Amino acid sequence: MVSVTVYRDSGVVLRVTKLGEADRIVSLLTRRAGRVRAVAKGVRRTKSRFGGRLEPFSHVDLQLYAGRNLDIVTQAVTLDSFGSAIAADYSRYTAATAILETVERLTSEEREPSLKLYLLLVSVLRALAETGRDPSLLLDAFLVRSMSLAGWAPALAECARCGEPGPHAAFSIPSGGLLCGECRSPGVARPAPGAIALMRALASGDWPSAEASDGSMRREASGLVAALLQWHIERGLKSLPLVDRGSVAEPAELRGYPAASRDALVEARADLPGFIS
Ligand SMILES: [Zn+2]
């Protein structure tokens, strides 16, 4: 007897690639299963039953059929179509594209559940699509928080090596943040204190402080965030089986809700600093 496995999940489309004449492979970060690649048949036909629902940035509720190699999307319902609002503004589009690429790099292993990364992704795309927040600040906030989820939270107050409480002035990318007078080596960088304060504000969701920062602080903080992420990704991916495998179990009171309202409930209580509030 052949067993047929159909399952549901919600996810954000990260990437879409062609497969043959009419089909596509869709890469998604899903709520339950982590990053999944699935085949969407007939997407490129004019009258596809998926319409434009399976495009990058789309947040969809999916029904999938578990195939031998790749799963097959049998149904897709839009939860949030972030794509049109994001694509209408170039700086939002580039920030959102960098976010999707980072998610792919942080989830090099398929099917490693990463619920918190999924929630973070949905909430930053929502902020990019639906608020006037500065796209570059949203991108940096996402990068700092995704590093924390991966176990790479930068040391922005205490010493990265010995934990000595700050304030400290020296900052080292390979050490992962600030260094005290005892731990720092000669020639280590000394970023502007405002840039470190901005990174702290982005990490904690302190938007009034973040938005009060000036252009030079923002550029310096962006450079540090990008360098930290790059350093960790290049060295850390193999040990990354991240993020929060333990937290994927659904709370009992959410069982039986339709997936979309479950999303809303879980998001409402997720222990993540808001991008919007
Ligand atoms: Zn130290």
Domains and CATH numbers, the chain: 6-81 (2.40.50.140), 85-266 (1.20.1440.120)
CA of residue 144 to ligand 1 center, whole Å: 22
Separation CA 40–CA 19 (nearest Å): 9
pLDDT reported for residue 257: 38
CA of residue 124 to ligand 1 center, whole Å: 33
CB atoms within 10 A of CB 227: 14
CA of residue 184 to ligand 1 center, whole Å: 7
Q: What is the pLDDT along the chain (277 residues), one digit of tens a residue?
A: 556 699 999 999 999 999 988 899 999 999 999 999 999 988 766 667 787 899 999 999 999 999 888 999 999 999 999 999 999 999 999 999 999 999 999 998 899 999 999 999 999 999 999 999 999 999 999 999 999 999 999 999 999 999 999 999 999 999 999 999 999 988 899 999 999 999 999 999 999 999 999 999 999 999 999 999 999 988 864 433 333 333 333 434 334 434 444 444 444 334 445 665 4
CA of residue 170 to ligand 1 center, whole Å: 10
Separation CA 204–CA 271 (nearest Å): 11
CA of residue 213 to ligand 1 center, whole Å: 28
CA of residue 272 to ligand 1 center, whole Å: 28
CA of residue 174 to ligand 1 center, whole Å: 14
pLDDT reported for residue 14: 97
CA of residue 158 to ligand 1 center, whole Å: 8
